[in-house]
Amino acid sequence: MSEARKNVVAVGEVLIEFARGGDGRYALSCGGDAFNTAIYLARAGIDVSLATALGDDVHSDSILALTATEGVGRELMLRLPGRLPGINLVSVDANGARVCHSWRAAAPARELFEVPAWPQIAEGLVAARMIYFSGITLSLYSNTGIGRFLAILELAREKGAKIAFDGNFRPRDWANDIGRVRAVFLETLKRVDVALPAFDDEAALWGDASPEATVDRLQAFGIDEIVVKNGPNGALIASSGGREHVPVPEVIEPVDPTAAGDGFNAGYLAERLRGRKPRDAVFAAHHLAGQVIRHRGGIMPRPDAVVH
């Protein structure tokens, strides 16, 4: 299966998105946190594939076409007959905040590790140099799916893969079952090498009082490399070299904060995979996140998608 070997495999879902504009009309696109990160990794020149499941409809066809255009590997994207991808309806409230309503309960991505072809996904993950996923990824799966995924991560680590995880926490995705979220995350963190949490998520889920408290908690799991994102307040790095706060070079008033974290993660991982030091990688991540939030939607126009 040498043709399936990739530097990175991102695991997650792709949603069809309808975003309402100022004129009341809806524009059609697609997105998803792991998907967005995979695209920005590919634009940065990283060999990356996406592991997910789609339907066999025209919208799934368009997702596959976009993935091909962006240079993201498709060999781990399953097609399930008669199924449709999830839908995300996006609008803006009176305060200018993004409001999302999702229809995802029957999305095929939720069954990635339960369909008959799931061993194919497992094989592709074990062959990767790095596996990237998020808390939203975990929220998709049943206990059976999570158990299989975690077992695959263990095997992949034994084969030399690094596991990168963003604890992207959305209570509604978990039916507000905080106990289940914590139990799943606790098992997941035992298998993580690179943690890329956002402080506001960690504070909401665990009650962390500061990014330093987040680092303390994650280091108890033996995680070697931690970058706590804290929006315009910069990022806190913790690694074998100690701890260091890296400020945002320029505080930008966002046009749309969607996918800022996805862009940051891609910018950071791309530079680390090239061998750059964590501090340098964080500056690259800040730069890409700053570019992303200047545009509406999770995937910005290609000419601006450059990681320096």
Show which residues are catalytic. Answer: 262
> How far apart, in whole angstroms, are the C-alpha atoms of residue 65 and residue 51?
15
- What the block records as the tokens of 212 is 């330093």
Amino acid letter for position 38: A
Residues near 172 by Cβ (< 8 Å), separated by ≥ 6? none
The gap from C-alpha 274 to its chain's centroid, in whole angstroms, comes to: 19
Beta carbons within 10 angstroms of residue 127's beta carbon: 17
Per DSSP, helices labelled H in 159-304 are: 178-189, 199-206, 211-219, 260-273, 278-292
Q: Please tell me what DSSP assigns to residue 153.
A: H
Buried b (16+ CB within 10 A) or exposed e, 214-239: bbebbeeeebebbbbbbbeebbbbbb
Angle ∠(22,24,26) on CA atoms, nearest 5: 100
Coil/strand/helix, residue 181: helix
- What the block records as the tokens of 42 is 């590919």
